[in-house]
Structures are given as C-alpha cells and as structure tokens.
Chain A
Amino acid sequence: MASKKSKQFDPVGTLQEIEKKFEMFQVLNEEGEIVNEEADPKLSDEELQELMRRMVYTRILDQRSISLNRQGRLGFYAPTAGQEASQIASHFALQKEDFILPGYRDVPQLIWHGWPLHQAFLFSRGHFKGNQMAEGLNVLPPQIIIGAQYVQTAGVALGLQKRGKEAVAVTYTGDGGSSQGDFYEGINFAGSFRSPAIFFVQNNQYAISTPRELQTSAETIAQKAVAAGIPGILVDGMDPLAVFAATRDARKRAVAGEGPTLIETLCYRYGPHTMAGDDPTRYRTSETDSEWEKKDPLVRFRKYLEAKDLWSEEKENEVIEQAKEEIKAAIKEADNTPKQKVTDLMEIMYNEMPQNLQEQYEIYKEKESK
C-alpha cells in the first residue's frame, strides 16, 4: 500500500508506466526456440503441421498472385508475404461460426475460412461473383476504405451477442488504419457493450510510404485499448505461436461475455503496397528489409518443426506442388466464369429495380445485344 502522503499528479509518469507494460509477447524466437514455455499454446503435432502447411501455401499463393498480376491475369492485389503468422495463425484460432471483416490485404484468412480460391481471383478481377459468399461463410468482402470495417465489426459482434451465438466478430486493419476515427469508435463501441469482438492491427510498419512513427506518438498501437477500457496486447506478428495464443485467449474471453480485445501484431510486408505502381525503394531501405527477413515466420517455424521431426523438405515440396496445382485449377475456373455485363450489375443493386434504372437498363440491354 502506498503511504498516506498526498498523491502526486504525474501524467507523464503514468503514461510511461502504461507504455512499459506493453511489451512484445513472444513464444517462438527467430531461431525457432520456445522462449516462453508457460505461454506455449501446446498445439498437437497435427495442428502444428497444419499451421505450417497453411503458411507455406499462403506464401506460394502470394508469389503466384504477384506473377499472375504481372501477366495481366489478375487485377487488384495487395501482397501478403511477411504477414503469414499474423494472418494465418490468428485465423487458426478461430471457428467456422466466427465472422470475419477483412481489409484488402486479408484475402488469405478468407480463403482458410472457406472462400474458394477461384472466387478470390474473381474478386481480384472485379467480377461480382467473386464476392458472392456462399451460405454459411461468415465474412464480408475485403474492405478498402480504411477503418470502415472496425465500426461494422462492433455491429456484427452486437448481432452475435443479441442472437446468443457462441461466436466472435474478427476484423483486421493496418498500422495506418489505427489512425482513423472509425478505429477508435469501433473499439470503444464494442467495449461499451462488451460485445464479442477481436480487433487486429497488423502493424507492418508502413502505410503506403508513411512510416509507423508518423501515425501516432504512442509507443504501441496496442495501448490504445486502454482508452477504450478493453484489453490490448502487443504480439510478435512474425511468431505464429504467439499470435495463435493471443487470439485463442481473446476469443475465449469474447465468447465468455468478457468483451473485445485489441491485438497489435508486429510484422512487415516484404512486397510493394499493392501491385498498382508502388515502389517501396522510395521510402524503405534494403537494410530494414533484411532486418525483418531475419524474423521470417516460415523460417522460424520450419526450424521449430524440423527440430521436432515434424517437417521436412519433402513435406514442404508437397505443399508447394499442391498449392501450384490448386491455383492453376482455380484460375482456370475463374477464366471459365461467364463474363459479367453492366445489366448484371444493375440487377444486383435493388430488390426491385427503380424506374430510372429500368430505363437505363433497357438502353444497356440493347447495346449489349449488339
């Protein structure tokens, strides 16, 4: 107990104390060694292998997507390499019933949640069938308006809560996204209703060209949870076991009625911001790049699994081959999807087409028949 001395107001000290508490949570270090035995999520051998399989698959999907984009066979694409642990290991802790509200870079989580690959490719090409999610696939299409998904997540969580479902709403944004009003409003709103939500910030150090330091003078983004009165955690986003453990824990609290959690994952995007004209050498150095490559999630997880005799080059090659085959087939399926028409797009807008659109519809119907 503190002494009876009158309390000193020390706002600066208070801040420093809070910031000190947000240390990075890590389970598996860069060498693939468990450094936090207590926090090890103790996945089964099969689970560990499956997690590795998904991360390798996702890396291949990224490489293929980039080259398909360069060949003009895919459209919009935001590279994901470097973020596999943040994306895949967080998703690995979710259940099918959970509802995901992704950002534009979060295509992998949707795929592992059940979004067929060919639909993801159609989305990239801007075909409306891409985002037509099958019944039971609880996701919204990738969000591109920065931050918007955060407030919508508060609503999905409210819905799950009101309908008594044992599921959580899960959303992702970036370090840049954490500067939006929607970010603060979303975590605060969900917090005030103690709704079952998990808010991820994948802090990949840059928002296009803007470095993380320019987003906020807060030491961490995780600490922003404090203002909303919800738990926040700073996680090594290159460490699949830490990301998994933090997510599983947050999910447990959410379904138990204990409200939302904010999780910041420290990671890096190796590639350009998107495939539309970004040149990272304008704002990043190769030293920073290689510093982060040393932390690579696949490298450390491979070391860890190999030491346990759970992984081998042979296994890895199998995954790579399978990924390549499936991607090839999915592209073919996307190619075979009938081309969309402007009138298709008009048809999906309203339950009943209003008169002005009906008139325009007729005009386009006629043009399309030519």
Chain B
Amino acid sequence: METAKKRILTGNKAMAEAIALEMERDSNVFVLGEDVGKYGGIFGSTQGLIDRFGAERVLDTPISETAFIGAAIGAAAEGMRPVAELMFVDFFGVCMDQIYNHMAKIPYMSGGNVKLPMVLMTAVGGGYNDAAQHSQTLYATFAHLPGMKVVAPSTPYDLKGMMISAIRDDNPVVFMFHKSLQGLGWMDQLDASVEHVPEEAYTVPLNKAKVAREGSDVTIVGIQMMMHYAMEAAERLSKEDGIEAEVVDLRSLAPIDRDTIVKSIKKTSRLLVVDEDYLSYGMTAEVAAIAAEHALDELKAPVRRLAIPDVPIPYSDPLENFVIPGPERIYEEVKKMMRS
C-alpha cells in the first residue's frame, strides 16, 4: 500500500503546475509575457514551462505591455486561452486601456457573443523594498471595474486551484499573486508560502471567501499577506487575551463573497478589515459598506479599517513596514475594539 505522501510546494511552483496541467489538457492554452521563458517569470510563476512546452507555447515578448495584453485579447477572441503575465501590477498604467476598455468590455459590447477566456496574471504587493512603482497591490483599482473577475489567492493550494479555474473560465480573470507568497529563495521565504499541494488538477471557485480560522469575538477580513498577518494576530489574541478572532480570507475581490462576510459578522458582531492597499476608496471601504448595508444592527462596535495611508509606498525598509499593516497593528487594533 502506498502511504499518502505530502507534496510540499511553494506558491510559484503551485501556479506553474496549474498552468502546466491546463496546457497539457488543452492545446489552446499558452503563456506570454516578459521573461516568462528561460527566466521562468521574475517571480517564478512560469518556472519550467518552456522546457516542457517550448517557445511555441511560452512566449517571451518584447517589452510592450499594450501589445501583449492586446494580443492576448485578440488570441482569446480567436479561440485560444491565453495566460498573459503583467510583470508587476504597477505597470498597468502602460496598458490599462487594453485591460479595462477592451478585455473587460468586449464581451459586453459584443452582446455577449465574443468570449474572452483569458487570464491576466500579475505580481502584487510590497514588503521587500521595491519602492513606489513596484510595491502596490492595486486590488481596488481592478475590482472597481466591471467586466472582469479579480482574484488574489493566499495559499499555494488556492493558487493552484484558482489558476486552474481561471484558465477554464470563459470570462477574463485578473489573477493577482503576491510576491511574498511565491516562496522564492531570493526573498525571505515565509512559512505561508509553502504547503502540501495535491498532484492532480483540481479547482477552487473564483467567487468564494474562506473562513481561515473560526472565532466568536471579532471578524477580521483580509486577503493574501493581510490574511496571514491576521492569522498571526489571532493566535496571539487567543493565547494572550482569550479573544477568539474569526479570520476571513476573501480570496476573490470581484465578485466579492458577501454572504461569508455577513455570516461572520452576525456571528462575532465586530469587524476589522485589513488591506495592503491605500485606505481611501479601497477594499476596506467596500467591506465596511457591506457591513453597514447588511449587518449594521448586528454590530456592537464601529467597523475599523487598517490599510496603507494615502501615500505612495516608501522604498525604505522601516518606513515601508511602518505603512503596511502587520500582525502587531492588527493585534492592537482588535484589543482597542474589544474595549469599546
């Protein structure tokens, strides 16, 4: 008999494995972007693909974001299933017209006749000193615009399952992966960036949040790094203060899983939303609005939000850590809320 062996994968390998499985399954799937070939993606998302599938299906493109995203749109309209990589989400400025005016709107403007089954994957997040134009998540910037799904998985398991779902989805999906959760050797490897990932193909839905930790006293909603920090804070709250926090991993920004959020608020009566994005007009405001519209009577305390202040992300290490919410600040904030 075979014992079930644990396959420990980093986030980047889980992603690359998902893409490889889909490339094997469907010859219409192909990858394009900058340095996705021999380099395997600057953050490892396409590692090993060129060796397996060749340069015919793993295209290193010129540095032309508008061209390769526009080309992915065209190829998708023609029946392919492209996976395009925008190296850093911050570079969306170069190519946003193709993304929000075309990728997001062609299905609508063609009366639903033209399907764009494409994935636009992109690296998000800071915390490793890469300055104002390489550290943003821009979650809300994308989630605000109708016409595309926007997901941001937090674990290797979800990275694989949601990538497979995204490739199989007939709508354009913006797939945000967090650099710190790729588990790369040249960055500090986090425990959260490695875990058991099954070998076979499986899917994880693109519209469901996950309760990452059950609790009864307060709900903390976050995504990617903020979810992991919330988990750390929750453990400490439990150990040191007897406070049981429920942590909701949003996983998907658009559509947002309102039911899971509301259900949790009804259970705990307190809500803290944590975001690695700018405070104003961000995801924290969206979740707070959901609470106000659907669970206001349940709340025992005002909703609290932690996010990056409305200032570009500093390069300097201590300053960056100062503006990005961390476990310590989440812990303090919850304690303050419990007092009120």
Contact = CB atoms under 8 A, between A and B. Distances in A.
Nearest to B91: A145
Contact of B310 (A147, A179, A357): A357
A209 B39 contact: yes
A144 B90 CA distance: 11
Interface stretch (A34-42, A57-65, A342-350): A342-350
Interface stretch (A210-218, A229-237, A305-313): A210-218
Contacts of B91: 145
A111 interface: no
Interface string A193-223: 0000000000000011110001110000000
A32 interface: no
Given A209-B38, A277-B186, A180 B309 contact: no
Classify chain B's interface size: 35 or more
Given A144-B134, A356-B280, A342 B322 contact: yes
B311 A345 contact: yes
Nearest to A123: B315
A179 B319 contact: no
B111 interface: no
A283 B66 CA distance: 25
Interface in A102-154: 125-127, 144-147
Contacts of A147: 63, 94
A283 B38 contact: yes
A144 B63 CA distance: 13
Given A283-B39, A341-B319, A345-B314, A126 B64 contact: no
A346 B66 contact: no
A357 B309 contact: yes
A75 B314 CA distance: 13
A282 to B, nearest CB: 6
A214 B58 CA distance: 13
Contacts of A240: none
B37 interface: yes
The DSSP consensus for interface residues of chain B is: loop
Given A277-B186, A346-B309, A357-B310, A214 B315 contact: no
Contacts of A207: 34, 63
B247 interface: no
B290 interface: no
A345 B316 CA distance: 11
B276 interface: no
B315 A126 contact: yes
B170 to A, nearest CB: 29
Contacts of A180: 63-65, 94
A340 B35 CA distance: 35
Interface in B249-281: 279-280
A82 interface: no
Nearest to B309: A360
Given A342-B309, A345-B314, A357-B311, A214 B133 contact: no
A257 interface: no
A281 to B, nearest CB: 11
A176 B64 CA distance: 9
A349 B318 CA distance: 20
A145 B311 contact: no
A349 B309 CA distance: 13
Contact of B64 (A75, A179, A282, A283): A179
Counting chain A CB atoms within 10 Å of each CB, the highest count among B39, B63, B280 belongs to: B63
Interface string B17-39: 00000000000000000110111
Given A209-B38, A277-B186, A345-B319, A126 B134 contact: no
B39 A282 contact: yes
Interface of A: 75-76, 125-127, 144-147, 176-177, 179-182, 207-210, 214-216, 276-277, 282-283, 339-342, 345-346, 349, 356-357, 360, 363-364, 367
Given A125-B316, A146-B94, A340-B316, 4 more contacts: A126-B316, A283-B39, A342-B311, A360-B309
Interface of B: 34-35, 37-39, 42, 60-67, 90-91, 93-94, 129-131, 133-134, 184, 186-187, 279-280, 309-312, 314-316, 318-319, 322-323
22 contacts: A126-B314, A144-B131, A145-B91, A145-B94, A146-B63, A176-B62, A208-B34, A208-B39, A208-B42, A210-B60, A214-B60, A215-B63, A216-B62, A276-B130, A276-B186, A277-B184, A340-B316, A340-B319, A342-B311, A345-B311, A356-B280, A364-B309
